[in-house]
């Protein structure tokens, strides 16, 4: 069985010549070799590569058992994490779940409502979330390798206090699951002391590559989605994208095209989707490529749009603005549901010519028309096509982007598995908040702020 993700290169011929592909083949082969022999930068974080094929089956069963217990008792499941600790799960859950799950009658739900916290310091959001929990049966999954990342650590402190006040300390402990380091860290220490059930964040898998570990799998399973199908799709993709030859590996073709666009002066990659359920997937994709490539003064800026809605806000810029971007279009062929356009007695809106058509067919024509218009406007369009959106295809899509991202980083000459720049804002924030050991830095930063005010 081949991967359900198909790369369509038919519309990029005006922008890339055959000889440019040929010239890039040796670099792709070298990047492949470094990736598969573990001789490249960041080799300690390659555990994601064979994760779908060599996962811990006992832990997978425990995840499913824990998720089933939560689904049986919980009205609300709160996921506390930030970045790679939440974006992957959110992407899969929103992509594959009912768009209006919280409005469904209880008997039609396949699990609790899933809420996310710890991604920001929003007071109103946090207060309103706690308010919405009144009278609900609540379970919590706190996800952090260290347990000291400020946003989720503060969120967990707030929610833990609420849980203990609502249920008592003894019962609250049974409702909190920690996904953290195997042996060390503040959250691991707390989980051991409190007796929380725990799952492991693997040492050899970085946060933004962790969606197919317990980091993402537990929330996804609680969402009623088959994690075995998700992993099966990723497994098929891992087999397909092992091929070294550029002509036989579509993930490498995607990475190579991005690199060629970068060499030609493009600065922005715009991920365009025509399925509103993929909005959160775009967020996961942006972190994957932004953190992996944005270093040493290099890298494409990953941005996203949701068509056709954004055609009425960003479409003009894409069509006629600066020619510094290209599009990667993520297109889903078939929806799970069929909606037919009804006929109107008076045809007041002039749309009776569409009566009997399905929304899918109209969406396809919008996609085709937009792609042709943007290509005519000198915006290269690379198409990623999927016949349908399900757990298997989502798993394959995740692995496609992960494998392409790793190779792309090596082509660019950066370590695709670290994120040193992320620490800069954290250190400044810690200093300004008065964290012990940062007094000198705090004085320096406050002086700079006073100069600007």
pLDDT digits (tens, 9 = 90+) for 71-113: 999 999 999 999 999 999 999 999 999 999 999 998 888 899 9
The hierarchical CATH code for the domain 48-229 is 3.40.50.10490
Over range 351-358, report the average pLDDT. 90
Whether the predicted pLDDT of 435 surpasses 90: no
Q: Token pair for residue 175?
A: 């409702």
Report the C-alpha gap between 170 and 163 in whole angstroms. 10
The percentage of the chain sitting over the pLDDT mark of 70, rounded to a whole number, equals 99
Over range 11-38, report the average pLDDT. 95
Over range 342-360, report the average pLDDT. 90
Report the C-alpha gap between 48 and 40 in whole angstroms. 15
Q: What pLDDT is stored for residue 449 in this prediction?
A: 82
Query: Where would I find the H helices in 133-226?
Result: 150-167, 169-174, 186-194, 214-222
Report the C-alpha gap between 311 and 227 in whole angstroms. 34
Q: Do domains 5-42+231-412 and 48-229 have the same CATH topology?
A: yes
Whether the predicted pLDDT of 31 surpasses 50: yes
DSSP E strands: which ranges in 253-407? 268-273, 301-306, 325-334, 381-388
Over range 105-131, report the average pLDDT. 94
What is the pLDDT of the chain when averaged over all its residues?
Answer: 93
Report the C-alpha gap between 311 and 75 in whole angstroms. 37
Q: What pLDDT is stored for residue 148 in this prediction?
A: 87
Q: pTM, whole model, 2 decimals? A: 0.94
Q: Token pair for residue 382?
A: 């690379």
291 among known catalytic residues: yes
Q: Which residue has the tokens 């085709």?
A: 368
Burial of 343 (0-12, 13-18, 19+ CB in 10 A): exposed
Q: How confident is the model at residue 244 (pLDDT cuts 50, 70, 90)?
A: very high
Q: What pLDDT is stored for residue 368 in this prediction?
A: 94
The residue annotated as part of the active site, out of 151, 269, 291, 293, is: 291
The tens digit of pLDDT for each residue in 191-202 reads: 999 999 999 999
Fold for the domain defined by 5-42+231-412: Rossmann fold (3.40.50)
The tens digit of pLDDT for each residue in 165-212 reads: 999 999 999 999 999 999 999 999 999 999 999 999 999 999 999 999
Q: Which residue has the higher pLDDT, 424 or 122?
A: 122
Q: What pLDDT is stored for residue 1 in this prediction?
A: 46
Q: What pLDDT is stored for residue 439 in this prediction?
A: 81
Whether the predicted pLDDT of 371 surpasses 70: yes
Report the C-alpha gap between 325 and 311 in whole angstroms. 16
425, 239 contact by CB (below 8 A): no
Q: What pLDDT is stored for residue 2 in this prediction?
A: 54
Domain residue spans of the chain = 5-42+231-412, 48-229
Which residue from 8, 24, 5 is spatially nearest to 375, judged by alpha carbons?
A: 8
The residue annotated as part of the active site, out of 136, 169, 184, 426, is: 426
């Amino acid at each position: 069985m081949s991967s359900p993700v198909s790369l369509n290169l038919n519309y990029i011929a005006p922008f890339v010549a055959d000889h440019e592909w040929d010239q890039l083949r040796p670099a792709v082969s070298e990047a492949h070799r470094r990736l598969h022999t573990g001789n490249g930068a960041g080799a300690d974080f390659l555990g994601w590569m064979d994760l779908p094929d060599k996962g811990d089956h006992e832990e997978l069963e425990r995840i499913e058992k824990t998720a089933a217990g939560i689904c049986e008792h919980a009205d609300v499941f709160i996921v506390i994490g930030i970045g790679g600790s939440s974006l992957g799960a959110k992407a899969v859950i929103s992509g594959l779940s009912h768009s209006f799950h919280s409005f469904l009658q209880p008997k039609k739900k396949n699990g609790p409502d899933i809420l996310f916290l710890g991604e920001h310091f929003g007071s109103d959001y946090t207060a309103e979330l706690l308010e919405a929990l009144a009278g609900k049966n609540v379970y919590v999954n706190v996800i952090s390798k260290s347990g000291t990342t400020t946003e989720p650590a503060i969120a967990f402190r707030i929610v833990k206090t609420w849980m203990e006040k609502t249920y008592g300390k003894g019962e609250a402990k049974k409702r909190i699951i920690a996904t953290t380091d195997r042996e060390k860290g503040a959250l691991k220490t707390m989980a051991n002391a409190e007796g929380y059930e725990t799952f492991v964040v693997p040492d050899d898998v970085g946060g933004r590559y962790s969606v197919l570990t317990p980091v993402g799998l537990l929330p996804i399973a609680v969402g009623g989605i088959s994690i075995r199908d998700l992993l099966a799709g990723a497994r098929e993709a891992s087999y397909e994208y092992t091929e070294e030859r550029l002509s036989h590996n579509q993930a490498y073709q995607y990475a190579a095209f991005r690199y060629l666009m970068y060499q030609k002066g493009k600065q922005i990659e715009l991920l365009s989707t025509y399925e509103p359920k993929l909005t959160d997937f775009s967020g996961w994709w942006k972190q994957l490529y932004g953190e992996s490539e944005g270093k040493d003064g290099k890298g494409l800026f990953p941005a996203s749009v949701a068509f056709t809605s954004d055609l009425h806000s960003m479409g003009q810029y894409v069509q006629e603005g600066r020619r510094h971007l290209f599009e990667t279009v993520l297109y889903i062929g078939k929806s799970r549901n069929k909606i037919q356009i009804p006929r109107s007695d008076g045809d007041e809106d002039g749309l009776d010519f569409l009566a009997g058509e399905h929304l899918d067919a109209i969406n396809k024509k919008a996609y085709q028309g937009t792609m042709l218009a943007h290509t005519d406007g000198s915006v290269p369009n690379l198409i990623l096509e999927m016949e349908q959106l399900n757990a298997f295809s989502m798993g394959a899509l995740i692995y496609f982007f992960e494998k392409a991202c790793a190779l792309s980083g090596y082509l660019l000459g950066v370590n695709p598995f670290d994120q040193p720049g992320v620490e800069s804002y954290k250190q400044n924030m810690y200093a300004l908040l008065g964290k012990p050991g940062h007094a000198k830095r705090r004085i320096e930063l406050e002086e700079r702020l006073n100069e600007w005010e």
